[in-house]
Structure formats: structure tokens, C-alpha cells
Amino acid sequence: MTKTTSKPWLVDFVLLAAIWGSSFMFMRVAAHEMGALPAAGLRVCIAALFLFPLLLFKGLGSALRQHWKLTFAVGVLNSAIPFVCFTYALLSITTGLSAILNATVPLFGALIAWAWLKDRPSGSRMVGLAVGFIGVSMLAWDKASFQPDASGTTTGWAVLAVLFACLCYGTAASVAKRFMGGLPSLVSATGSQIGASIALLPLTWLYWPTQTPSLRTWACVIVLGVVCTGLAYILYFRLIERAGPARALAVTFAIPAFAVFYGVLLLGESITPWMVVCALVIIAGTSLSTGLVSLRLRASVAN
């Protein structure tokens, strides 16, 4: 009986990690030919076009009209700004590094919830926060440089951009918890992508590349919008429904493994032992700071 009920969420979990892990690769390819702003702008526009008919089909158009201001604003914070940060960063750092840094989202989320929502973490969670940020510092110290290398690339601003994106994700999570409770997930997802599209469309037009993007780049952007954003949102909210928020949050830890695999296999990137060590430290800290480790320990004792 246990195996039957656990199988659906486990499939969603692995599929979502694989999809979001691939998004770094697609963003990198699209950004290098289109530029950071057009790549991010097209991603949210395509996602909005994919989600909006589903919203209407489900009869949730009136809910979106009622909550459009809130969902649009969350879209700027949760999609527009972070996607631009990631596409900018991927012009100079690898997909594996950006995905490892992305695993800090729950750390920022816990800090914002503590500062704003007064959700004070326990002793073990505070230790986790410290351990997680030590891992980030270790990785940033090794990879972030504000001095151009032989190719003229500066990685420091890229690392800071990814961390700022993670801060935005963490803040958006607290906003959603405070103001969007009870709102259907499809309304939140669709409204946020429409809001992000409105914010990025002028910049997408302004910074549109002079040369026509290749079919390969267009394919990457379409996959980003439909699969890595639209479909991924549906899977993510379904995972929360089937497995609970703790297991859904744990998908963040599996994403770097897929991102590194895609980067090494398809983009010829490399992963260093130091990156692996830092990733393990970040994941350990995040597991503690979000309570996932203690939850698992309680579960094992109860069984």
C-alpha cells in the first residue's frame, strides 16, 4: 500500500528535478545568442501563453481578475528579476555552479521568514543557516572574481546576480505565504508569468539582438517557457499537494545533480572536487535550516 501511494509523488519529484536542472543549460544557450534580457523575457511570455488557456479551461479567469495586482507583483519578484539574473550570470559562469548556488533558495527563504514573518528557527535550524552560508562563502571565495580573466570574463558579478535571484525567490515565498494563502496554484502561476511578461516586454524589445536568433536558440527558449516554466509550475504545485511542502522543497537539492550532468555531457563543462565539497556543505546546511533532517529523523523513529 505504501509503495502504491508513494510512487506518484516520487515520479513528479524526479521529473521536476530533471526539468529544472535542464533550465540552466537552456538559459545559457539562449542568453549567449539572444542576450540576458530577451532570453528571460521570451521565457515568461511563452510560459504565460501556455498557462493562460489552461486557466480559462479550469474556469479560473474571475479569480485572476480579482487577484491580478498581487499575482502580477509576485511575478516580477519571483520570475522577472530572478530569470534576468540567471541569464546574465550564465554568460560567464557554468550551469553547474549556478545550480549549486540556486540550492541556497531555502536558506534565504528561512532568513526572510524569520525577519519578516517572525518565524524564528530552532537551534538546529539556526546552525543549518550558518553552515549553509559557510558553504556559499566557500564556493564564492573560490569562484567569484571581479578581475577579468584572459577572455575578459568577470565571474564575481555573476555569482552575486545568482545569489540576488535566490534572495528574490526567498522573499517571494514569504509574500506568497503572507498574502496568497488559499489562492489556486494555477492562478498564482499564470498571474505571475503575465506580470513578469509585462515587466520584461519593453526591455526585451529594447535589447532584441540585431541578428536573427538561430532555430536552436528558439527551440531552447520555447522549451524554457513551456516545459521549464509552465509545465514545471504544474508539477511543483502537484508535488506540494501529493507529498507536502517539505518534500517539494527537497527538489532544490536534486537540481544541481541534473544541471551538472547536462552541463558536462552536452556543454562540455567541468565540475571540480571543491564544487562538490561546497555543494555538500550547502545541502547539509539547507537540510538543517528547513527542518528536513529533523523531519526525516522523526519519521524514522515513528516507523
**What integer is the mean pLDDT of 78-92?**
95
C-alpha cell at 45: 511570455
Cα–Cα distance measured from residue 151 to residue 35, given in angstroms and rounded to the nearest whole number: 18
Q: Give the confidence band of 293 by pLDDT, cuts at 50, 70, 90.
A: low
DSSP assignment of 14-60: HHHHHHHHHHHHHHHHHHHHH-HHHHHHHHHHHHHHHHHHHHHHTT-
pLDDT digits (tens, 9 = 90+) for 233-292: 788 877 776 766 656 667 777 888 888 889 888 888 888 888 888 888 888 887 776 666
Which pLDDT score is estimated for 48? 96
Residue 20 neighbours by CB distance under 10 Å: 23
DSSP assignment of 143-182: H--SS--TTS---HHHHHHHHHHHHHHHHHHHHHHHH-TT
Q: How far is CA 70 from CA 119, 150, 169, 172, 256, in A?
A: 22, 46, 16, 11, 31
Which pLDDT score is estimated for 152? 61
Half-sphere exposure of 56 (CA within 13 A, CB side): 5
Q: What pTM does this model have?
A: 0.84
CA–CA–CA angle 288, 303, 4 (5° rounding): 95
* Rounded percentage of the chain residues whose pLDDT exceeds 70: 87
Is 153 a residue whose pLDDT tops 70? no
Which pLDDT score is estimated for 32? 93
Mean model confidence pLDDT for the chain: 84
pLDDT digits (tens, 9 = 90+) for 14-55: 899 899 999 999 999 999 999 999 999 999 999 999 999 999
Which one-letter amino acid corresponds to residue 276? Answer: V
Cα–Cα distance measured from residue 35 to residue 271, given in angstroms and rounded to the nearest whole number: 25
**What integer is the mean pLDDT of 182-192?**
89
Q: Poorest-confidence range of 85-94, 220-229, 285-294?
A: 285-294
In contact, 161 and 89? CB cutoff 8 Å:
yes
* Residue keyed to cell 516586454: 201
